Amino acid sequence: MIEQYFENVSEKYYRGEELEDARPELSYQTGVTPESVERARNHEKIVNSLTGDNKPMTPYPIENDAKWRFFWPIGERPESIRDEIPKVYPADFPEWE
């Protein structure tokens, strides 16, 4: 049920285009982060120690992450940053929060 909701919202929101909800000036700590911005941690030493079927198919060094994400703060935020990082509400999603 919840998986279907997120799938529907994702298909509607992440359309593969630049969105005005991106906040690179805030290090993408709120709003949308487009594809190829984030990079996963490099675990090359661990990967190189694996053998056979345990070795992942993903090549190293890894490329930037191809997925989009939307950062939405949950819970109370410290008083010191409460006003510095605004919550971003996507324009076409009035029920977002």
Q: Tokens 């919202």 — which residue?
A: 9
Is the whole model's pTM more than 0.75, yes or no?
A: no
Cβ pair 71, 30 in contact under 8 A: yes
Residues sharing a CB contact under 8 Å with residue 86, sequence separation 6 or more, in sequence order: 30
CA 60 to CA 38: how far, in whole Å? 15
User: What domain range includes position 15?
Assistant: 2-39+67-71
Would residue 48 count as lying in a domain?
Answer: no
- Judged against a pLDDT cut of 80, whether residue 16 lies above it is answered with no
- Judged against a pLDDT cut of 80, whether residue 14 lies above it is answered with no
Residue closest to 28 by CA, chosen among 70, 84, 82, 58? 70
Would residue 17 count as lying in a domain?
Answer: yes
Structural domain count, the chain: 1
pLDDT tens-digit series, residues 36-85: 888 878 888 888 898 888 888 776 667 788 888 888 877 777 777 666 77
